[in-house]
Amino acid sequence: MVNVLFVCLGNICRSPTAEGVFRDLVRREGLDAVIKTDSAGTSGWHIGAPPDGRAREAARRRGIDLSDLRGRQTRAEDFNDFDYLLAMDRRNHAALAQLAPQGREDRLHMFLSFAPQLSLTEVPDPYYGAGDGFEQVLDMIEAASRGLLDHIRATDLAR
Ligand code: 4NP
C-alpha cells in the first residue's frame, strides 16, 4: 500500500482538487486497491468544510467529483501514516517541515517537483484571485498527478 497526502493552506481549494484529480487517475488505472489518497491543510480554518464551490465547479467540468471531501488539519502523525506528503507551495512545505518527526523529512516534497516540464515550483493560491485561477491550478495538478503516478509505479510498485 502507498499512502499519498496532498497539502495546502486551507484544504478547500488546491489540495482537495489534487486529491480528486489524482484519485480519479488512480481509479482509471486500476490502482485504487494499492494507492490511498487524502488531503489536509496546514491551517485549521476550514476543518469539516467541503471544498470551495469554485474548486468543485472547475473540477466537475473536467469530470472530477470533489463533493465527498472535507477539510482537516495536518498533524505530525501524517508523517507516519503517509509515504508521500505533497506541498502545494513553499509556505505549506515550511509548515510541514516544522511538523516532521526526525528522520521522516524525506517523505515531504513540493508537488510540482513531479512536473518538471512546467518549470514551476508552486501551485498558486486561487482563493482570492480571479476565477480562471482554478483552471490554471487544475492544469498544473493534472500534470503533477501524472508525474507522481509514474514515479510511484517506478519506485514503489515495481517490486
Ligand atoms: P487553499 O486556498 O490553501 O488552496 O485551500 C485557501 C483557502 C482558504 C484560505 C486561504 C487559501 N483562507 O484564507 O481562508
Give the pLDDT of the chain (159 residues) as one tens digit per residue. Answer: 999 999 999 999 999 999 999 999 999 999 999 999 999 999 999 999 999 999 999 999 999 999 999 999 999 999 999 999 999 999 999 999 999 999 999 999 999 999 999 999 999 999 998 778 999 999 999 999 999 999 999 999 996
All three cell numbers of 80: 507516519
Give the bridge partners for 85, in sequence order. 5, 108
Q: How many Cα atoms are found within 13 Å in the side-chain-facing hemisphere of 159?
A: 6
CB contact set of 70 (below 8 Å; sequence gap of 6+): 48, 49, 50
CB of 12 sitting under 6 A from ligand 1: yes
DSSP string of 120-141?
Answer: -------SSS-TTHHHHHHHHH
CB of 10 sitting under 6 A from ligand 1: yes
pTM value > 0.95: yes
Catalytic residue among 24, 52, 89, 125: 125
Question: What integer pLDDT is reported at residue 129 of this predicted model?
Answer: 85
All three cell numbers of 99: 511538523
Q: Cβ distance 96 to 71 under 8 Å? A: no
Instruction: Report which residue type is found at 1.
Output: M
CB of 9 sitting under 6 A from ligand 1: yes
Q: Cβ distance 84 to 22 under 8 Å? A: no
Domain extents in the chain: 2-155
Ligand 1 pocket mutation pick from 15, 19, 112, 125 by most atoms within 8 angstroms of CB: 125
Does the domain made of 2-155 have the CATH classification 1.10.1040.10?
A: no
CB of 71 sitting under 6 A from ligand 1: no
40, with CB counted inside 10 A (0-12, 13-18, 19+), is buried
Question: What integer pLDDT is reported at residue 159 of this predicted model?
Answer: 67
DSSP string of 59-116?
Answer: HHTTT---TT----B--TTHHHH-SEEEESSHHHHHHHHHHPPTT-GGGEEEGGGG-G
